[in-house]
Structure 1
């Protein structure tokens, strides 16, 4: 069969050594030269050359890579030639999908020069898989290092955004914000108007009527590559959302708040929100546009004008009371009565009986009686907590439990650190073995045999680390729950009247049973939010 070769070359941005951004990098030229020489030595016909410059090996979103795959599928080429397997992809899933599945289906052979990968040789399949595994470790390590580097730079007060916020420009190295005098005046005007009683709509009206360019238009006018999704730049107008974003942004008082989102992983091109307490907030990193007095005035007004969600009247027993028999919630009903000052009386009854007719728990309970029972139960709990003898015993038990928990967490963290070091060592051994195989110091069979133990150890140690993380998290949850319980108990001495806050703090669920015909009483079980 005549070999119709497609040469594939790739270079990541980190490896760049171009003189001009439009030039091919030296590495791409070297890869191409090596592959053409190898093809010529083997008498193969090179049909096309595919080259992706500035693209990571983590994904398949590469123009010439996609063209290569399309040509393989169509039969234009039947042999893919690369300098090394990592040039094709560093992703283990991509290696498996194409080298060991699709290429076989399409009758395409894969050959890489440096690491001797050849899909025509069945015996080196394990070597190709190990190559993929090592390359994937490289990507994982690189991803973690990039995250750490970004975190350190944010903590040093460096601006890490792609575009400066409206009102600022980036300095030459791109990591410090400097005031843009023109846009800064607009920002000042927005804060001034809001502080003097203007609403979002009125501010937009003022800016639009005075033909002040929006953020997107202004950045475009200055030659920025700023991308605005869903923007019609010709008809762009100031909006309430934009005004709100500006008024709430701490950047205008000289603070940088970054790290609000994080990637879900180097394989997943998606992001997730970070909890506010984990944001990186550094003060006084650059010149402020808005003084603290104006900022405080604006924030106070923003807070006072925030609208609560309209939920209607929600009783504090809503989603708290359930039937012991069928598990359905108790529903609240209000009836007109003659002998009540309000003319109404509220009851609760099992929904499974009242609405679905599937439960025998058919007797309702007066709301005021249930409130009295729950209030007494909470006060009994508080009395028990504040009893001197109990308090002393609780304190000693908590101290002992905290000590035991902390000791256990320390032991687990040390074990985890040791395991992580061993995993790194094993990865290093793999890479050394791999280099020995490439150099010819050991053959493929020896490489596969020696690498099995390392792989098994890494798998076992990784599982153990996951178990350690789960146990540490569980111990920390216990500590935090106990602390929250004590904080709640210390807030109250005696409850005179129930409200939703008290119920939500103390109680998870209330279960109401059937009425006992002999005693005319019913069991009411409370599931507390905590134990002490």
Structure 2
């Protein structure tokens, strides 16, 4: 950590620092803790253990905890259905200073913060156009990383997405770029939404039952996950209490020094507070889930609004769609295909019944069309 702060003070940018760390085969934080047997979160990393991102460097440089402080309530969630964590304003943070032994002295940390605040992010170039309405919704179907939006340097009319962890562009682990044109993606989503519209118009009762069943399945899945997380938190909380009692007893009889007792007791107390908050939050989410009525009606209302619109909009997309998985292309030339899977809000993936093979063709730009067959399209 100290070397990262030093490189920043030496005037190196986040990308340069990330590249040097990767070239020197320095383990990323998650891989480092796993190598020490301290597997935070209980999951093994699926990424290259030496693959640093500039965002990781940026996060480390802004972590006040390295000064020995403890900060709670940095993020919050709005509800059990919205799993997104939102940043809490700094004035709402709970900050406890000088609790742990600092890794970075406060003077160095504050100097770096002043340096960072003077570094302004470049504004996007106007010629690259506006952000895509799909930003934040598109994920790689293989490695599950977010897809990045680009504008072609040779033709500003061409906008596309690629996997943010692909080996070619970003020194990542994912072998395929998962390239997809933004205009082609928009046409595919429109065609799929029109299929939902057709089904709604043909048999609204059957469509409502299908959505209700899917919604109930998702709720039951969420409930089982929350109950599992609650049990894990309760078990760990009991373990921490036992560890603290044992630590206290060992300190009394002289097996543990006062210095070591203070350090570990602070660690256990922080974890105990975090677990207490997690247990209360999870219990609230479970109760909220039990009392929540099926939300398929909101989904149908959003589809009806789509029926009255000429173009897709970002708000409507986020009301209908949770995320979209983009898989790598297969084949070449006219035989090239690419699988796209849409996961809708509240209900996940919907497999619509087809009475016969359906093929749709839509123009994306002059001379180029998208042929869409159920879950596949060819451009």
- Using the size of structure 2 for normalisation, the TM-score is 0.35
Higher relative contact order (CA 8 A, sep 6+): 2
- Using the size of structure 1 for normalisation, the TM-score is 0.26
